[in-house]
Structure 1
Amino acid sequence: MLKVKNLSVHYGGMQALSNVNIEVKEGEIVSIVGSNGAGKTTLINAISGLRTLTNGEIEFLGNPMAKVEAHNRVPLGVVQVPEGRKLFPIMTVEENLLLGSVHPGAKKYRQETLKEVYELLPRLKERSTQVAKTLSGGEQQMVAIGRALMSKPKLLMFDEPSLGLAPVLVRDLFNIIKQISKNGITIMLVEQNVKQTLQIVDRCYVLENGSVTIEGTGKELLNNDHVKKAFLGM
């Protein structure tokens, strides 16, 4: 579904990514793990069209994406749940959700998709008329996920979804991600909660200083000595 080839990105006079190669197959959950500053968010933003490439290629469903502007990637099925949620704070939950379905391909399924989102995330239906800024952090993250689902994604990318959430909410979040995958949406997951991430993913890439240093299945990386030492505190 997604191929990233020899991708490099510079900004602010620094190289954020260097010759990154990854691929995501349809139906997979693939994670990108790494420490702060490793380039994980830059990679997701490059795929979303929010960062200009220095060199390299991005292909989605066999089509080159370099000249496709960010807002035109969403109707193609490339959708991001951004770090920090990025909700519209004085709009209601439902208004935030509906903003995810403004492109024609999603708009015609708006009511059907909204029903599916409320079934997956029932708390949002209870809070549908509540202003977003008054929600808890966990509820706001659910709104961000629901809004992304309203766009009818083929590839759904999560950027640090568990950031700032209590452990019990993190467990719920990972269960929701697994359910989204079961519903047929391919997932790319950038996450610092490495242990829980590796337990649910099909494959994983380790990003260090802007380069991929290790790749393998979740189980392989859980048993990798470098991963244990660098990310699992073992």
Structure 2
Amino acid sequence: MADARPVERPLHERVVVVTGAAKGLGDAIARELAPRCAALLLADLDAERVEAQADRLRAEGRKATAWVADLTDPGSAGALIDVADAEFGGADVLVNNAGIVEYAPLAETSRELFRRLMAVDVESVYFLTQAFADSLRRRESGGCVVNLGTSHALTGVGGTSAYSTAKGAVHAMTRALAVELAPLGIRVNTLALGTTLTERVRSELAPELLRKRMRQIPLARGARPQEAAAAVAYLLDAGFATGTELVLDGGFTVFGDA
């Protein structure tokens, strides 16, 4: 008997939602996907930068809409998906890129820091994915979710326990939702990133700390944002991949001297 579950459209026909799209990795993902997909909905807190990003893409002949929101706001998830429904007839792909990175030793981790990480890095991802899946279910359409994870969730890195806990939850979420949503034709995968040389990383990490990180990576460098964006594009095209963790960390998690 043929499987009647919904199927994904070809990538060039898909509408893609990217969160945290105004700069850094989100900017690279948007630029990578713009020529490959039908339209982009770019979400970010930074109104000026996300609007400028959408303007640039439209000037290049791409379909792009910017939407400004705090994704920790309980109403923002449904509102973002409503925008996709109204503007484009619905989204086919959700890239959960928005998040924060904050490190602290256990003894110095406040409840406020822990709750902030969970709200931004876990809760917003969960409920945006819920709203996205509900839209696909109503439209009887297949789709794809890519969650941005971290190699810190796959190995032990001292001084990162709260952040690693939050991202570890995202990895677990991916696996559970991949099973739950498969009958709806929805794939869910994680891209587990190591050190990625975004503008923020280059500006915030002290040179000696950055050099130390490079020594812990067998390939002896960080990922370029464009490499991470290409990995996202791969997961969108890899139609038989779901519940997986694609690790892009230059070998960090398998390096015995890390």
TM range (shorter): 0.3 to 0.5
Scaled by the length of structure 1, the TM-score of the pair is 0.37
**More strand by proportion, 1 or 2?**
1
Higher RCO (Cα < 8 Å, 6 or more apart): 1
Scaled by the length of structure 2, the TM-score of the pair is 0.34
